[in-house]
Amino acid sequence: MSAQLTPQTDPRHALLFQPLRIGPVTAPNRFYQVPHCTGIADRAPDDVAAMREMKAMGGWGVVCTENIEISADADISPYPALRFSSDSDIPRQARMADLVHRHGALVGAELAHMGLYSANRTSRLASIGPSSRLLIEAVEPVQARAMDKADIRALRQDHRAAALRAKAAGFDIVYVYASHNLSIASHFLARRFNDRGDEYGGSLENRARLLRELLEDTQEAVGDRCAVALRFAVEEFLGPDGLTHDGEGRDVVELLKDLPDLWDVNLSDWSNDSQTSRFSSEGYQESYVGFVRKITGKPVVGVGRFTSPDTMADQIRRGILDLIGAARPSIADPFLPRKIAEGRSDDIRECIGCNICLSCENSFVPIRCTQNPTMMEEGRKLWHPEVMRPRSAEDSVLIIGGGPAGLEAAMSLGRRGYDVTLAEAEASLGGRVSREALLPGLSAWGRVRDYRLGQLAKMANVSLYPASRMESADILGFGAGRVVFATGAHWRREPVGRGGRAALLLDGPILTPDDILSGHRPVGNVLVHDTEGGYIGGLIAEALRTAGADVTFSTPALSHSGFLALTLEQSRALSRLIALGVNLIAAHDLAGFQSGCANLHSTLGAARVDIPANHLVLVADRIPEDRLARDLLSMPNRLQASGILSVDRIGDCYAPGLIAHAVYAGHQLAQSF
């Protein structure tokens, strides 16, 4: 059942468990999983349904889908989506609705036509929009055609038919979508896309006409049994070119205030809605969306990376929101509501706001989560975020290394009942997480360590030994049946990066990210040269600039920190560097460095640039710390004599990657025993 008040619930959080009427349906509590993508959608509907069911089991009172295309000209391929464009889609989506219902939760369907965002690459239909405009997402030079009245009628019919299919599939809440700059209704609303001369263009009332009609059509079609929700972005951060929370965004809420049964409000575009912890803190949307509830008499749900039950209860108590919306916090911890209900808030696996989940969606692969390695493995691997099968043998396990891979392995093996010893060379646990969390804006990343240490502290069968560097003899003499290396990696001091090219002539103080992460702060002129293209290069440039150095940040790539485009942070991150006065040079590789000067050559031609540089920080690739593991694996007889049955390597010492990869590797190993 959805999470209910229990005798253990902290009384301060009791109001989170009050049911709430939304139109003709009633949410059993205030925990609302707003629509979020899965990176796979209809390519693996059973996996998606299993993941949504897990949220319902974890106590979310409402669980929604991702966007559901209503017609062939709403096609956003290669981005995955669900579909309600034909009656044959009903059984597939009904399966998810049934699974969610089993646990007492309501289920919501986000119907969407993405207008100028729908490039129709699969359906090959011409794209449509309020006016003829270049498509928003497409790199191809392709424009939408301006819709005529017959097109508008057809769109309304498609939306209505999709709403009826959602009802037939058993959905309780049916959405009209007007958010993120990803909806045809938003495109009609926006002056910048709409220069129509008819009753759908011009005044705000006219530009809002299509949205009003879609809401009325949906109410009329399914409102007897389903609540009609409007997902609406009140602020676009475009000033007069867009909707603002104190201008036309507010006016739209005034215009339509009691038409939907539920206002699901947020910010546009997606990068503003799903901000990372580096750029915003919990509850960051309040100052924009807070007005909505004062205008409408209908319930309001909003998001803000809520993980603290105190903050959630406070939002409701102060009349900001009626329902606590969550996408990422529900990915990081599908059992968050149940933990609050049971007075176990300390057990919440808090989202760290890293947007690795979004990076997967933007790469068209199933979402993975840094904190929750079971995300999207509920169906295909039958992994549960809270429960693991008991151990299958008596073996004891020695884990060497207390970074994210080692900590996750220790916790998950501990959950299974194994006797686990974890030895860490450093005086404190956390490995790279502890070091990276000291970079500007990344303190929330420490939650990866803190959650696991909190869980481990409750396990009598797991012993942690910080300040314990292990060598081969210690391991052979330890007496564990299984040995797991989670010894991490270190950054290379030579300029070899993506593509594997080495620079010439290097003669001067060369630093690596490890030096900076250990607190070294070179002064004077510093060149940070990034061939990796992840988040570290820019953060090091920021840290050094903030500490007073004159920093140039260069990359051979066409743009800096390319990975951050996938986490929706690239613009913010680069704007911050520019504001701090960091000199950005893209499309230049390192040709040489002598103390005092670095030479960069253009990757697009013969041009060269000389940069004053007393220090060079190379952000290249990482070298796995696998010496000990390789030593041991090279002596099978001694392993056998010491009673060691298996030697495994996990995380960065096996294949350097993201923290998410290390956590996943630790979990996968624990599942495999």
Q: State the catalytic residues.
A: 37, 177, 180, 273
Does residue 98 contact residue 92 with C-beta atoms inside 8 Å?
Answer: no
Cα 95 to Cα 433: distance, rounded to the nearest angstrom: 39
Tell me if 342 contacts ligand ADP by CB under 6 A. no
74, interface contact from ligand SF4, ligand ADP, none, CB < 5-8 Å by kind: none
Shortest separation between residue 631's beta carbon and ligand ADP, angstroms: 11
Give the N- to C-terminal CA distance of the chain in Å, as an integer: 32
Here's the x/- map for ligand SF4, 19-58, by CB under 6 A: it reads as ----------------------------------------
Q: How near is the Cβ of 358 to ligand SF4 at its closest, in Å?
A: 7
How many Cβ atoms from other residues are within 10 Å of residue 427's Cβ?
Answer: 8
15, 65, 244, 259, 372 from 299: Cα distances, Å: 15, 20, 21, 12, 30
The option from ligand ADP, ligand SF4, none interacting with 337 (CB < 5 to 8 A, set by class) reads none
Q: Which does 299 bind (CB under 5 to 8 A by kind): ligand ADP, ligand SF4, none?
A: none
Residues 408 to 437 in contact with ligand ADP, rule: CB under 6 A: 423-426, 431-432
For ligand ADP, which residue of 265, 628, 639, 647 counts as binding (CB under 6 A)? 628
User: Interface with ligand ADP by CB under 6 A: which range of 96-104, 345-353, 597-605, 648-656?
Assistant: 648-656
Assess 373 for contact with ligand ADP (CB under 6 A). Answer: no
Q: Mutual orientation of helices 659-672 and 404-416 as an angle, nearest 10°?
A: 30
**Other CB atoms within 10 A of residue 63 CB:** 33
Give the SS3 label for residue 516.
helix
CB nearer ligand SF4, residue 80 or residue 556: 80
Judged by DSSP in three states, 2 sits in coil
Binding mask 584-603 for ligand ADP (x = CB under 6 A): --------------------
Which residues are within 8 A (CB) of 29 and not within 5 positions of it... i.e. 6 or more apart? 2, 3, 4, 16, 17, 18, 19, 59, 61, 337
Give yes or no for residue 527 binding ligand SF4 (CB under 6 A).
no
Q: Does 488 interact with ligand ADP (rule: CB under 6 A)?
A: yes
662 neighbors 651 (Cβ within 8 angstroms): yes
Q: What's the token pair of residue 467? A: 């300040």
Helix H or strand E segment including 152: helix 149-168
The single-letter DSSP state of residue 134 is: B
Task: Kindly state the smallest distance separating residue 425's Cβ from ligand ADP, in Å.
Answer: 4
Q: Which stretch binds ligand ADP (CB under 6 A): 54-62, 296-304, 381-389, 399-407?
A: 399-407
Closest CA to 66 of 318, 397, 386, 327: 327
| Least spacing, CB of residue 355 vs ligand SF4, in Å | 5
Provide the phi-psi class of 32: left if phi over 0, else alpha when psi is between -120 and 50, else beta. beta
Near ligand SF4 in 321-360, by CB under 6 A: 328, 331-332, 351-357
> What backbone phi and psi angles, to 5 degrees, belong to 329?
-60, -25
Return the one option of ligand SF4, ligand ADP, none that residue 356 interacts with (CB less than 5 to 8 A, by type): ligand SF4
Q: Tell me which of ligand SF4, ligand ADP, none is bound by residue 652, counting a contact when its beta carbon lies within the kind-specific cut-off of 5 to 8 angstroms.
A: ligand ADP
Provide the 3-class DSSP secondary structure of residue 124: coil
Residue 45 is given by DSSP the state: H
Residues 6+ apart with CB under 8 A from 7: none
Distance CA 17, CA 70 (A): 34
- Given ligand ADP, ligand SF4, none, residue 533, with its beta carbon under 5 to 8 Å by kind, binds none
For residue 661, the one-letter residue type is H
Pick 41 or 375: Cβ nearer ligand SF4: 375
Q: Which of 437, 436, 488, 496 is nearest to 618 (CA)?
A: 496
Q: How far is the CB of 274 from ligand SF4 (least distance, A)?
A: 8
**Which residue in 486, 438, 433, 491 sits closest to 659, CA to CA?**
433
Partner that binds at residue 426, options ligand SF4, ligand ADP, none, CB closer than 5 to 8 Å by kind: ligand ADP
Q: Which does 332 bind (CB under 5 to 8 A by kind): ligand SF4, ligand ADP, none?
A: ligand SF4
Instruction: Provide the β-strand partners of residue 47.
Output: none
Query: If contact means CB under 5 to 8 A according to the sort of partner, which of ligand SF4, ligand ADP, none does residue 424 touch?
Result: ligand ADP
Evaluated on CA atoms 478, 483, 488, 489, the torsion sign reads: positive
Of 190 and 399, CB closest to ligand ADP? 399
CB of 354: closest distance to ligand SF4 in angstroms?
A: 4
Nearer to ligand ADP, 206 or 642 (CB): 642
Helix (H) / strand (E) containing 217 = helix 209-222
Report the alpha-carbon distance of residue 473 to residue 167 in Å, rounded: 66
Q: Identify residues 104-133 at the interface with ligand ADP (CB under 6 A).
A: none
Q: Does position 369 bind ligand SF4 by CB under 6 A?
A: yes
- Integer Cα distance of 117 and 74 in angstroms: 8
Q: CB neighbours (10 Å) of residue 6?
A: 12
Please give the radius of gyration of the chain, using alpha carbons only, rounded to the nearest integer. 27
Tell whether residue 486 is a contact of ligand ADP (CB under 6 A).
Answer: yes
Count of positions on this chain that bind ligand ADP (CB under 6 A): 24
DSSP SS3 for 526: strand
Residue 400 interacting with ligand ADP (CB under 6 A): yes
Per CB under 6 A, does 179 bind ligand SF4? Answer: no
Question: Between 598 and 627, how does the x/- string for binding to ligand ADP read (CB under 6 A)?
Answer: ---------------------------x--
How far is it, in rounded angstroms, from Cα 349 to Cα 371? 7
Angstrom distance (rounded) from CA 502 to CA 621 = 12
Binding-residue total with ligand SF4 (CB under 6 A): 13
Nearer to ligand ADP, 80 or 403 (CB): 403
The count of residues in the chain is 673
Residue 371 lies near ligand SF4 (rule: CB under 6 A): yes
Q: Would you give the binding string for ligand ADP spanning residues 268-307, x where CB under 6 A is met?
A: ----------------------------------------
- Restricted to residues 455-474, the positions that interact with ligand ADP (CB under 6 A) are 469-470
Asked if 397 contacts 442 with a C-beta cutoff of 8 angstroms, the reply is no
Assess contact for 304 and 283: CB atoms under 8 A.
yes
Output the DSSP codes for 69-101: E-SGGG--TTS--EE-SSGGGHHHHHHHHHHHH
CB under 5 to 8 A by kind: which of ligand SF4, ligand ADP, none does 406 bind? Answer: ligand ADP
Rounded to a whole number of angstroms, the minimum distance from the CB of residue 164 to ligand SF4 is 33
351 or 669: CB nearest ligand SF4 = 351
557 binds, among ligand SF4, ligand ADP, none (CB under 5 to 8 A by kind): none
Residues that bind ligand ADP (CB under 6 A): 400-406, 423-426, 431-432, 469-470, 486-488, 625, 628, 651-653, 662
Residues that bind ligand SF4 (CB under 6 A): 328, 331-332, 351-357, 369-371
